[in-house]
Amino acid sequence: MKNSQENIRLPNFHVHLVRQHDDDFINEDIALAEYIGTYGKGLILYFYPKDNTQGCSVQASDFTALSDEFAKLGYVVLGVSRDGVRSHQNFISKKELGIGLISDPDETLCQHFDVIKEKMMYGKTHLGVVRSTFVFDKTGEMVASFRNVKAKEHANALLDFLKNL
C-alpha cells in the first residue's frame, strides 16, 4: 500500500450523508470537520466510482466488516461517490452496509480531493472517480492518502497501516 502525504486538511464542506440505523435510513446534511469534532474520532474518507458495482461492493463490504476495528483505532469510515441518495439507500440495503455514504452528485468533494480523472473503459475514455482513500485525525489533519487503490483487500491493508502508525 502506497501512502502519500499531501497538504490537505479536511474541508468543512456541507455534505449529504446516508446511513442506516436499524431499519430506518438517516439522511442528514453534515459539515465534515464538525462531524468528526462531534464524535471525537478521526475519519477515513474513501472515494469509489459507483454504487452496486462489483469492485465497489467488495470494498464497501470490507469496510463494513472492519468498521468496529477502525472504530477501536479511533476512526469513522465514510464512503463517497457521485451517486444520489436513492442509489445510496439501495446500495446500503442490498449489501447490508454498516457504514455511511456521502452523496456527491455535484462533485464538490471529488473535485476538492482531485479524484476525477480520465479513465478508459471498453476502448472509450470518460471522466470517472479514481478509487482513493484519505485518512484524517480527530483534528482534521491528514494522516495519510492512498490513490488508485484496488478494491479487494484495501480495507485490510489500510487497517494494518493504521495499526502500525
The CB-based long-range contact list for 17-22 (8 Å cut-off, 24+ gap) reads: 17/78, 17/100, 17/101, 17/102, 17/103, 18/85, 18/88, 18/89, 18/92, 18/100, 18/101, 18/102, 18/103, 19/92, 19/99, 19/100, 19/101, 20/89, 20/92, 20/93, 20/97, 20/98
Is 110 designated active site?
no
Q: Name the catalytic one among 30, 45, 56, 149.
A: 56
Q: Nearest CA to 43 among 112, 143, 146?
A: 143
Q: Which active-site residues does the annotation give?
A: 56
